[in-house]
Structure 1
Amino acid sequence: MNAVCDLNHFAKAKFDEPGRQRALDRLKVVDSQAEPPFERIVDLVKTTLNAPICAVTLVDNDRQWFKAFRGLNVDQTPRDVAFCDHAIRAEAPFIVEDATKDARFANNPLVLFEPHIRAYLGIPLKMPDGYIVGTLCVIYQEPKAFSEHEIAILQNFANLVVGELELRTIAFTDGLTNLLSRKAWRDRVEAEIDRAGRYTNAGSILLLDLDHFKSINDTYGHDVGDLVLRKTAEIVNAVLRKHDIVGRLGGEEFAVCVANAPASVGFAVAERLRVQIAALAFPDHPGLSCSASIGVAAFEPGATVDALLKQADEALYEAKRMGRNQVRMGESAALPSWTD
């Protein structure tokens, strides 16, 4: 836990909600699994400030979600009752000494019922682009006045949280395309498969490989090859829904998890991607075109990420064998193949 950021040196905070939400989405952290750096921070906060409740809170569209927390029995609450929704609207620490005497919160269900909030201190988590994505907060179940020393301590811990978020972004993001790295994609998809198994949700894995990519690099150079990869990433991001998961596995290979949708939707998404990639134009490079072959594997009970990737890879190989620029479905799902 050695990432330290000075919030005072960052850009001026902006409360532009669409931009703030995009900044949070870029972190790709909401609904992620527990990570030791954030767990250690909340442990230290709880001990240092003798706080019965503390949390690293990220404020999403309609909820606050806790990346790490102690003293709570839920990992999220609706945004419209969140104290943290007030805290993200200003750069200064947000302090409530007695919620029962504060007109904004006296009738709040989090005050009237569990966890019976009385005192709250939240430090905004301001990222280097100026957007505040959440808070580091402590909660007490008795009224409390916060000293300057306590506020300063929590501010220092908030600096650490911001630093860890930045480090996480670097480690979990492919530098060229800004998509998830291979490891980050696998981690997210493992969680999604587990969730699908518990709630019997459907889903599918798409494995996408750009056709004849080596010849693009050989003919036009690696800078142009990088441009093709970035354009492909832009198309994938534009086609997918917010909760779908996309990563660059390496080279010219991309992977997508189409979550909570039947295999027919995954297949349709793959075809849409194929068509739009084939339509890419490069005015500065006459004669350059590209296409993609895509294999699709449907979620099955007990399936692992490795098993689904293997099935999608076999379907991808079949698409290439049949002439490339095609989508093929893994054998387990009875769907027709779409070709040009």
Structure 2
Amino acid sequence: MQKPPTPNNELSRLKYLNSLQLLDTEGDIDLDRITQFAAKLFCVPVALISIVDEERQWFKSKVGLEATQTPRDISFCGHAILGDSTFVVENTLLDERFSDNPLVTGEVSIRFYAGVPLKMLSGFKIGTLCIIDNQPREFRKQDAEILEKLASKIVKTLEEKHVRTLK
């Protein structure tokens, strides 16, 4: 298993993330609607808005998963926040970075993952919108474009809520 590398700007990213006062907050109906839509649109059992802090990925919104968080060192989202585009693993069992990951070999049984970094206006990537399946699957360029549009809606919603909390 390959642990996600730490972003070069990690200290600044975490400072910004904490300024959002987002972690461990109540659910949000607007975000939940997007997560539910993503799960239905892509016909996947799990969709998440995952926020990546220093030690964990915490789920601000979730469909199809009981857990509220998982350790960052086994997270797929920790890898996804390193890039600028959709991070896709079509078959986790064939990917040496993840084939022995507890989220793959254990009860969650992840076989497919696609996650888009939530890149805020500040430039910091605070987490992902991700979809997960327990079956391998193909993910086309147009699928990535749709997931990226949904992620941009999440970012807009989070930015608007952050501005309101500053007032």
Same-fold call, TM cutoff 0.5: yes
Q: With a CA cutoff of 8 Å and minimum separation of 6, indicate the structure with the bigger relative contact order.
A: 2
Q: TM (normalized to structure 2)?
A: 0.94
Distance 2:124 2:14 in 1: 9
| Deviations 1:174-209, CA, capped at 9 Å, x for gaps | 3xxxxxxxxxxxxxxxxxxxxxxxxxxxxxxxxxxx
Larger of the two Rg values belongs to structure: 1
For 1:149, the equivalent position in structure 2 comes to 142
Distance 2:72 2:159 in 1: 24
- Which amino acid counterpart does residue 81 of structure 1 have in structure 2? I
Give unpaired runs (5+ residues) of structure 1: 1-13, 175-340
- 1:112 lines up with 2:120 in the alignment: no
For 1:96, the equivalent position in structure 2 comes to 89
- Structure (1/2) with the larger helix percentage: 1
Cα offset, 1:173, TM superposition: 2.0
Distance 2:122 2:162 in 1: 13
The SS at the match of 1:67 is strand
Query: What's the % identity of the aligned pairs?
Result: 37
RMSD: 1.0
The SS at the match of 2:24 is coil
Cα offset, 1:26, TM superposition: 1.3
- 1:45 lines up with 2:16 in the alignment: no
Cα offset, 1:170, TM superposition: 1.3
Q: Could you tell me whether the CA contact under 8 Å between 1:15 and 1:89 is conserved in 2?
A: no
Distance 1:173 1:75 in 2: 26
For 2:4, the equivalent position in structure 1 comes to none
For 1:220, the equivalent position in structure 2 comes to none
- Which amino acid counterpart does residue 30 of structure 1 have in structure 2? L
Seen in structure 2, the aligned counterparts of structure 1 residues 20 and 97 have a Cα distance that, compared at 3 Å, is same
For 1:58, the equivalent position in structure 2 comes to 51
Distance 1:44 1:107 in 2: 30
For 2:116, the equivalent position in structure 1 comes to 123
Distance 1:114 1:73 in 2: 12
Q: What is the total number of aligned residue pairs between the two structures?
A: 161
Give unpaired runs (5+ residues) of structure 2: 1-6
- Which amino acid counterpart does residue 38 of structure 1 have in structure 2? L
Cα offset, 1:34, TM superposition: 0.5
